[in-house]
A and B are shown apart, each in its own frame.
Chain A
């Protein structure tokens, strides 16, 4: 894949950074670089993943403190330049807290931390993050979260629907998410946030490869 480099952000409390890096390097032969949250130099990365975990111990709200890191401040320009940003789980929470994506993620309806494989409908081709051109409209990815219930007001939901910004919906809503939402993109399509973990579904030996396409699409322009 040439010199294309994916930056994997590491916050204190991130715990899926190595999984993401493993999936990108080991399964897709993509170069990765860990980016410490205090770094604001994004000049040598071509795409960024905000991985799952518990940044800053989930203090105050999930993703609330991470939002103020130098790296997230620098992300604004990166996103405006059209480069791709993928926020997985806690990364999705950070993207909503910092305003890159609308809405918020709150405690699961049943209060359980849910660790399971879920079926997801691909509902938008915005940004080309999911392979929905070979009639595979449903994929299976693992989820692992306690606060993954998507919430937004009715105006925002209408905007999400009208502009095809809802990327993934749960087939059987596990957490009470509004409109079964599991992942959304920004209007440009270069930012995707989702609760499921594509990096945990990149090899047949660990249960599936439905996450490969999403990680691979980080290289799209």
Chain B
């Protein structure tokens, strides 16, 4: 069994308005930060997972992302995987 550290990034799809991102952008500008063109907020999920090799772990993570971590109606996901 190999153990992997996986970082899953879940983001609202570009077509979905992100009001929290807009509010944070507005606060960033009030803080004095210049040049912010866009600011959107997503989620990062860290998973440590065991499996027989990278392919098997990817299958498990794909299932988790599709069915639970992201709602693909409104969100996209991507992940990075590191063998421990």
Which residues of B30-82 have CB atoms within 8 Å of chain A's CB atoms? 68-69, 71, 73-74
Indicate if B5 sits at the interface (CB-CB under 8 A). no
- In the complex, what residues of B have CB within 8 A of residue A176's CB? 17, 19
Indicate if B23 sits at the interface (CB-CB under 8 A). yes
Which residues of A126-182 have CB atoms within 8 Å of chain B's CB atoms? 149, 151-153, 176
Contact with A along B1-34 (1 / 0, CB 8 A): 0000000000010011101100100000000000
Which residues of A85-110 have CB atoms within 8 Å of chain B's CB atoms? 96-97, 102-104, 106-110
Which residues of A32-79 have CB atoms within 8 Å of chain B's CB atoms? 60-61, 64, 68
Q: Which of B12, B15, B19 contacts A110 (CB 8 A)?
A: B19
Give the size of the chain A interface in residues (CB under 8 angstroms): 20
Query: With the chains together, A153 CA to B14 CA distance in Å?
Result: 12
Give the size of the chain B interface in residues (CB under 8 angstroms): 12
Q: Which of B12, B19, B68, B71 contacts A109 (CB 8 A)?
A: B19
Indicate if A111 sits at the interface (CB-CB under 8 A). yes
Q: Check if B71 sits within 8 Å of A61, measured CB to CB.
A: yes
- In the complex, what residues of A have CB within 8 A of residue B19's CB? 107-111, 176
Q: Check if A104 sits within 8 Å of B74, measured CB to CB.
A: yes
Q: Check if A60 sits within 8 Å of B68, measured CB to CB.
A: yes
Q: Check if A104 sits within 8 Å of B73, measured CB to CB.
A: yes
Q: Are A60 and B69 CB-contacts (below 8 A) given A106-B16, A109-B17?
A: yes
Task: Give the interface SS of chain A, mostly helix, strand, loop or mixed.
Answer: loop
Query: Closest approach, in angstroms, between the C-beta of A82 and any C-beta of chain B?
Result: 26
Q: Are A107 and B73 CB-contacts (below 8 A) given A60-B68, A64-B68?
A: no
Q: Check if A97 sits within 8 Å of B23, measured CB to CB.
A: no
Query: Closest approach, in angstroms, between the C-beta of B42 and any C-beta of chain A?
Result: 12
Query: With the chains together, A152 CA to B15 CA distance in Å?
Result: 10
- In the complex, what residues of B have CB within 8 A of residue A104's CB? 71, 73-74
- In the complex, what residues of B have CB within 8 A of residue A64's CB? 68, 71
Query: With the chains together, A149 CA to B73 CA distance in Å?
Result: 13
Query: Closest approach, in angstroms, between the C-beta of B24 and any C-beta of chain A?
Result: 10
- In the complex, what residues of B have CB within 8 A of residue A110's CB? 19
Residues of A near any B CB (own CB < 8 A): 60-61, 64, 68, 96-97, 102-104, 106-111, 149, 151-153, 176
Residues of B near any A CB (own CB < 8 A): 12, 15-17, 19-20, 23, 68-69, 71, 73-74
| Contact sample, A vs B, 29 pairs, CB 8 Å cutoff | A60-B68, A60-B69, A61-B71, A64-B68, A64-B71, A68-B68, A96-B73, A102-B73, A103-B73, A104-B73, A104-B74, A106-B12, A106-B16, A106-B17, A107-B19, A107-B20, A108-B19, A109-B17, A109-B19, A110-B19, A111-B23, A149-B17, A151-B16, A151-B74, A152-B73, A153-B15, A153-B73, A176-B17, A176-B19
